[in-house]
Amino acid sequence: MRPAAPEDAAQLARLHAISFDRPWGAMDIHQLLTTGAAGLIADEAGFILWRAAGGEAEILTLAVDPARRRTGLGHSLTLAALAAATDSGAKVMFLEVAADNPAAIALYEKAGFSRAGLRKAYYVRTKGFADALVLRRALNRDEALGL
């Protein structure tokens, strides 16, 4: 695993494009990485971006190449982001996940996230909308490392 840098934006956009119906472009990712977001890349097959400020952190996106899903890569990226956010002083981490994505929900629940809210019709789909679950996890160093 290595830190994501603005010059990785094109590669991260390619991974995002094969992971999401409405992917982020390289310019979007570059802007995030130059305006305070942090990220990690794992094996050039997955990445996670998050932002931390004022004692809170938020996972912005997590993308894993479909060929590498269910191998633990997403879980490892999530735990690493939790640890990094904890090290930066965050006490809690949030994220939104599509309510119609049971694999992602299971990944985040395995990492200790629990439901904190619901955003109706948050994600645009080809046919309609999907709700977003707002998930929350308290942070401390040992738990962030999965210990």
Which residues are known to be catalytic?
96, 108
Residue 48's CB: how many other CB atoms inside 10 A?
28
Edge-first strand listing for the sheet containing 38-42: 2-3, 38-42, 46-53, 56-64, 92-98, 128-138, 114-125
Q: Are 74 and 101 in contact (CB under 8 A)?
A: no
What does the block give as tokens for 90?
């965050």
